[in-house]
Amino acid sequence: MTLSAAPRIVGDMDHSAQHTSARGHGSVHGIVPAYLLARLAQSGRFPKAADAARQTLLAGRPKFRARLNFSIDANGALVAELGDAPNRTISDAGGTETLPGVVVRAEDDPPVDDVSVNEAFDGLGATFEMLLSAFQRNSLDGAGAPLNATVHYGTDYDNAFWDGERMVFGDGDGEVFLGFTRSLTVIGHELAHGVIQHTANLEYQGQPGALNESIADVFGALTEQYALGQSAAEASWLIGAGIFTAEVQGKALRSMIEPGTAYDDDELGKDPQPAHMSDFVQTTEDNGGVHINSGIPNRAFALTARTLGGNAWERAGVVWYRALTGGLSATATFREFADATVSAAEREYGEEVTAAIRDAWTTVGVLDAEGPRRTG
């Protein structure tokens, strides 16, 4: 047996500091926007969920690991290649808001009786596999960072978030929200904030913040599509499908292909996402509308992927990843990111992909059909 590749050795970083609470943490990015929780907090129809929403609103280097991949070469010899592998640890907060909680499953452990633990473990693995296969990125930092998660955070906690070091999942209130580990797009989305943190580190405010949310949605959608083997045409393009109970008139938190259509409920209101720059929402809430206005670049990506056909993580996904990791400013506007995707497409693929991307950004009003680009 021969080894055809040598492992890259990376140093350890100590992330063992205990957090008494995630509330107010500067890097927390929750999947459920505050405006939706605020609406739910006033609900008379869902009293338990209203109380849970109020509580939720109040609340907020790795060891090297590799795997051996075996194959037979042309001479019939067994070849073992060292490849990148995830290093997952799932902890249980036990209904408290203390992080990280008690470790309940590590990378080499078998499934446990707790469904949330296993869903989190599998979702972290699915995200790792998508990043590695589509972008040759070894974990969130590109250097094999461990994937840590905590389940059963808080009591009736209506959110899931990335706190700068780990994924944290609430169990939902049972009236409006179910457990957040059940959605692969939620897991992929939150872990994507870790990728963004290690690359462009987009400011979480205004247009850069909306790009932050949108790119996280893109990666969340790609994680699900990759895991299911779905083409861009087959995909639902929904973020957070399956986390609403049957009592809610809605299918997901967001629709990338049709922003503004994910839910329309008497208590929760109507999905406020715009699909075009002409409807861009100017607001001081939601960090300047980061969860709202992300619908515009979301639609640009979904349109690009559908136009190109095939798998969204291949050409469209690679272009978005190159734009994110190619020196993008932390204060990038929609236009600047659109320009970055066009440039990346020209370098990587040529006119067919470039034209599809230009057309998508034009359709959502970020780029003009002809002449100077928009400044909005």
Measure the CA angle with vertex 272, ends 271 and 278; round to 5°: 140
Strands ordered across the beta sheet of 78-84? 2-3, 78-84, 66-72
pLDDT score at 17: 32
pLDDT score at 72: 60
Digit-coded pLDDT (tens) for 133-182: 999 999 999 999 999 999 999 999 999 999 999 999 999 999 999 999 99
Beta bridge partners of 265: 269
pLDDT score at 28: 61
Domain boundaries, the chain: 24-363
pLDDT score at 372: 40
pLDDT score at 27: 53
Tell me the CATH class for 24-363. Answer: mainly alpha
pLDDT score at 242: 93
pLDDT score at 33: 83
What count of residues does the chain have? 376
pTM: 0.82
The mean pLDDT of the chain is: 86
- Name the catalytic one among 189, 203, 291, 314: 291
Does residue 323 register a pLDDT over 50?
Answer: yes
Does residue 322 register a pLDDT over 60?
Answer: yes
* pLDDT average, residue stretch 245-256: 96
pLDDT score at 37: 83
Does residue 25 register a pLDDT over 80?
Answer: no
* Confidence grade of residue 50 (pLDDT, cut at 50, 70, 90): confident
* Confidence grade of residue 31 (pLDDT, cut at 50, 70, 90): confident
In contact, 283 and 259? CB cutoff 8 Å: no
Lowest mean pLDDT among 5-19, 69-83, 109-123, 209-223: 5-19
198 carries an active-site annotation = no
Q: Which has the higher per-residue pLDDT, 74 or 154?
A: 154
* Confidence grade of residue 328 (pLDDT, cut at 50, 70, 90): very high
pLDDT score at 11: 30
Percent of the chain with pLDDT over 70: 84
Does residue 70 register a pLDDT over 90?
Answer: no
* Confidence grade of residue 251 (pLDDT, cut at 50, 70, 90): very high
Q: At what angle do helices 295-308 and 315-325 cross, to 10 degrees?
A: 140
Digit-coded pLDDT (tens) for 294-316: 999 999 999 999 999 999 999 99
For 138-142, the CB contacts below 8 A with 24+ separation are 138/84, 139/62, 139/84, 139/86, 139/87, 140/191, 140/194, 140/195, 140/197, 140/198, 141/194, 141/198, 142/198
- Name the catalytic one among 190, 203, 267, 314: 190
* Confidence grade of residue 85 (pLDDT, cut at 50, 70, 90): confident
Q: Which has the higher per-residue pLDDT, 85 or 343?
A: 343
Percent of the chain with pLDDT over 90: 74
291 carries an active-site annotation = yes
Digit-coded pLDDT (tens) for 349-360: 999 999 999 999
